[in-house]
Structure 1
Amino acid sequence: MSTLKNNLLTAFQTNWVSLLVSVVVIGILYFLARKRVNFGYRVLIALGLGLVAGIFFNKFKFDATSVSTIGTIYVNLVKMLVIPLVVVLVINSISSISSLGHLRKIGVKTISLFLITTGIAALIGLLVALAFDPGSGIQQEVPKTFKPRDIPTFSQVIIDLLPSNPVGDMANAKVVPVLIFSIFVGIAMVQVGSKKPEIIAPVKQFIESFAQVMHQVAKYIIRLTPYGVYALIGAMAAKYGLETLLPLMKVVVATYVALLLHFVITFGGMVTFIAKVNPFKFFRKAYPTIAVAFTTRSSYVTLPVNLEVITKRLRVSPRIASFVAPLGSTMNMNGCGGVWPAIVAIFVARVYNVPLGISEYILIILVSMISSIGVAGVPGPASISTTVVLTALGLPLEGLGLVLAIDAIVDMGRTAVNATGTTVCSLIVANSEGEFDRDAFNRDEEDQMELNMA
């Protein structure tokens, strides 16, 4: 008993500073919410406060356990939503489509956009890496903790993607098998409903009602986003600090420059010239998705927020959003499967003095596109995609271990680009199908989602 008491006392003594700071920050964010400060601004303020607090904790060696605990609670609450949302929204989305041909067309457009944007991301990552030459001057041993990721065989990838036990897949949070199961159910409802609409009516009514309930639950959780963002970025900064960045600063800078260029040129260009939407207004409305993806480092966790952003702020029809967003959370890898493998490939080639030519550069882009789809649903997609690219080029896999120290730092930007890419693709697909309410998008100075958050 005395040992437990001493441990608790020690933990409190080393953790009290971060706990006190967290209470103050949460109080500030709550005050801003009561004053109806814009939701996006509150998330941005939380991100800044978390970064400053985390660097402070790291510099003075304060324990940040209380901060990471708050972040973990937020992430777990969001994870709680994902599987029920995927099931109910995908089934509801597909069952509302009158024609299977229409569904096929939406699917082809969506996956094609994912592949094309990932290919462009790989090209941008390649060009930036060649310009920055991040591997020059690196003299560093491979970390002892590095273990190359096994590349799953094609047959294993297919087997892992297909549902064998939908209930078990839901319990294990396997999004892709659950997504495929939901698609089958939705298609079956369309076919049965075309012949016997009276039989399918009660099921559709239940699905629609349950979707509304889950949307309300999502609103409750999303209101906690500023607090979660503060905790997640604070814990990250407290763990790694600024010194982690210094040895591999050129890799970090090159990665973020490439991600930013993809963000501005690719996403901004698609929004401006294809969807014909003001890009500044688009990114302002999409900001909650960007912030949550950046801090949680998970497109999967960002999914509930992204669905709200796409439907409530961007004014894309729920039918398109409910199909594209869940698919994008596992298959759209612009950052993890496009930019990052290209930069790491150039970095590793430079470190190990392996010459690369035009044919290898083309191979980087093509393999990045294919592997980004192939690793859908596999844990650690950035590592798997990068391993596939390095293997295809004949580069030593040990080179991947050199960037382990900065993986968490760059993963924030990679995930933000992944999630934003899904948001952009939803807008493009909806616009092509006439399911984007342009008038509502343009006149929304105070977004509907913001009204719900107040």
Structure 2
Amino acid sequence: MNNNLIAAIQSNWITLVISLVIIGFLYFLGRKRLGFGYRVLIALGLGLVAGIIFNSYKLDYKNVSTIGTIYVNLVRMLVIPLVVVLVINSITTLTNLGHLRKIGVKTISIFLITTGIAALIGVIVAILVDPGAGITQEAVKNFKPREIPTFSQVILDLVPSNPFNEAANGKVVPVLIFAIFVAVAIVHVGSKKPEVVEPVKQLIASLSQILHQVIKYVIKLTPYGVYALIAAMAARYGVETLAPLIKLILATYAALLIHFIFTFGGLVAFVAKVNPIKFFKKAYPTIAVAFTTRSSYVTLPVNMEVITKRIRVSDRIASFVAPLGATINMNGCGGVWPAVVAIFVARVYNVPLGLSDYVLIILVSMISSIGVAGVPGPAAISTTVVLTALGLPLEGIGLTLAIDAVVDMGRTAVNATGTTVASLLVANSEGEFDREAFNRDEEDSLELNGVS
């Protein structure tokens, strides 16, 4: 017993010392003014190598996981205040509420169309790769399928009853709706008695600037958080866990990559008339944070900075599109993943699918991406909805649980990038994209915005 305790303590200390050395190295690179994007990329690589070593030698990685959790919590603490303040600030700058409706229609349309395209790509790639080939059906232990919420449950979950309680529980959608009501009321009262709402508008504007500064403080910690999150992930799962389902991982990431390059790149290049390579370079902090944290909500503060300071979209558009996108834009979780899993499960359980089934996958994926807004675990819910619509066994989802965290990194990165792309498209159509500033900024870092 004593020997086991001593070994555990030594293991803990080894991972802690290795992590501190790597964090110190990343800090040194920051002091040498290496670009933010490069430091995040280096952190990701070092985290992957360290995690594989921890897993190979069965070292305790709890200390590393704690560092990553601290970073995630720091970013998460900003989400609710950011949604409330920026949405109110965005809407109160509008002189015409019809403009808000127009922006809303454009935004949701882009989300739905891109999710449909993502599902189509997922279907095509899954058919070509055939990830379920050679896998025999096995009993899934301890699997409990997620319950599909009814339409009335979804509506009730979206409508705020106690905004303070919902904010405390991290429910973004009800808080977003509450903020919209408050902002519209401010605009309405201000049209008759501007002197009454002016102090509130000034307060909101001041809070907006203060929150942006807090975001900059937290963003500086991103390389360290990225290292810790990736190291803990690799240490937990290791290579051997992924081997049996490697074709499913490859099919998912191939579909995500195709959607990322061709759908997003095409929209940026041909609709917004922007250099896609430059766009993706500027969007890199969003991609990296989403990939490592696996949370669109946690990525929201970083994405807001990227959209406004690097992509050069107006605060008014970004403050509306980004929070909405973090909630209902699920190109990866609601588009690619359910499509790939549906075809995987059908193959494993020998259920033939036809053209009508593939069309159904795409349509249901689009609808469910909106329908599960605000529900925890949207990828699981969306996949459950698609499998149910096709009459496929829900136990098939249990076969994918071992790799869910690994593919979730790519899914979330695509989700968050889709929101960035949507912000650019909406801003460009509304004349609120500063193209000259976008083309002028060349640095691949956040140093222009006080983050180094």
TM-score under structure 1 length normalisation: 0.97
Find 2:317's aligned residue among 293, 316, 320: 320
The equivalences for 1:95-174 within 5 A come to 95-174=92-171
2:259 corresponds to which residue?
262
1:216 corresponds to which residue?
213
Number of aligned positions between the proteins: 451
Find 1:290's aligned residue among 284, 287, 291: 287
Structure 1: where are the runs of 5+ without partners? Answer: none
1:245 corresponds to which residue?
242
Is 1:80 paired with 2:77? Answer: yes
Cα distance 1:59–1:97, how it changes in 2: closer, same or farther (>3 A)?
A: same
1:197 corresponds to which residue?
194
- Give the letter for the 1:453 counterpart: V
CA shift, 1:446, in A, is 2.5
CA shift, 1:215, in A, is 0.8
8 A Cα contact 1:308 1:449, kept in partner = no
The equivalences for 1:343-354 within 5 A come to 343-354=340-351
SS in structure 1 at match of 2:243: coil
CA shift, 1:145, in A, is 2.2
8 A Cα contact 1:143 1:401, kept in partner = yes
Cα distance 1:157–1:450, how it changes in 2: closer, same or farther (>3 A)?
A: same
Cα distance 1:6–1:78, how it changes in 2: closer, same or farther (>3 A)?
A: farther
- Give the letter for the 1:218 counterpart: I
CA shift, 1:68, in A, is 0.3
Aligned partners of 2:142, 2:263: CA distance in 1, in Å? Answer: 36
CA shift, 1:36, in A, is 0.8
- Give the letter for the 1:270 counterpart: L
- Give the letter for the 1:280 counterpart: I
Is 1:233 paired with 2:230? Answer: yes
8 A Cα contact 2:137 2:348, kept in partner = no
- Give the letter for the 2:268 counterpart: V
CA shift, 1:449, in A, is 2.9
CA shift, 1:202, in A, is 0.4
Find 1:409's aligned residue among 406, 412, 418: 406
2:374 corresponds to which residue?
377
Aligned partners of 1:244, 1:294: CA distance in 2, in Å? Answer: 20
CA shift, 1:53, in A, is 0.4
- The CA deviation string for residues 195-220 of structure 1, in whole angstroms up to 9 with x for no partner, is 11111100000000011111111110
Aligned partners of 2:389, 2:240: CA distance in 1, in Å? Answer: 33
CA shift, 1:255, in A, is 0.2
Is 1:453 paired with 2:441? Answer: no
Is 1:340 paired with 2:340? Answer: no
Is 1:361 paired with 2:366? Answer: no
CA shift, 1:448, in A, is 7.8
Aligned partners of 1:322, 1:306: CA distance in 2, in Å? Answer: 10
CA shift, 1:9, in A, is 5.8
8 A Cα contact 1:95 1:187, kept in partner = yes
More displaced stretch, 375-384 vs 142-151: 142-151
Structure 2: where are the runs of 5+ without partners? Answer: none
- Give the letter for the 1:149 counterpart: R
Aligned partners of 1:384, 1:277: CA distance in 2, in Å? Answer: 35
CA shift, 1:245, in A, is 1.3
Cα distance 1:188–1:127, how it changes in 2: closer, same or farther (>3 A)?
A: same
8 A Cα contact 1:313 1:447, kept in partner = no
Same amino acid, percent of matched pairs: 77
1:304 corresponds to which residue?
301
More displaced stretch, 151-160 vs 185-194: 185-194
2:440 corresponds to which residue?
443
Give the ranges of 4+ consecutive aligned residues of structure 1 lying more than 4 Å apart after TM superposition.
Answer: 5-11
SS in structure 2 at match of 1:301: helix
Aligned partners of 1:152, 1:310: CA distance in 2, in Å? Answer: 33
- Give the letter for the 1:239 counterpart: R
- The CA deviation string for residues 386-417 of structure 1, in whole angstroms up to 9 with x for no partner, is 00000000001111111111101100000000
- The CA deviation string for residues 253-302 of structure 1, in whole angstroms up to 9 with x for no partner, is 00000000000010000000000000000000000000000000000100
- The CA deviation string for residues 311-360 of structure 1, in whole angstroms up to 9 with x for no partner, is 01100001100100000001000000000000000011111111111111
- The CA deviation string for residues 353-402 of structure 1, in whole angstroms up to 9 with x for no partner, is 11111111110000000001100110110000000000000001111111
CA shift, 1:12, in A, is 2.8
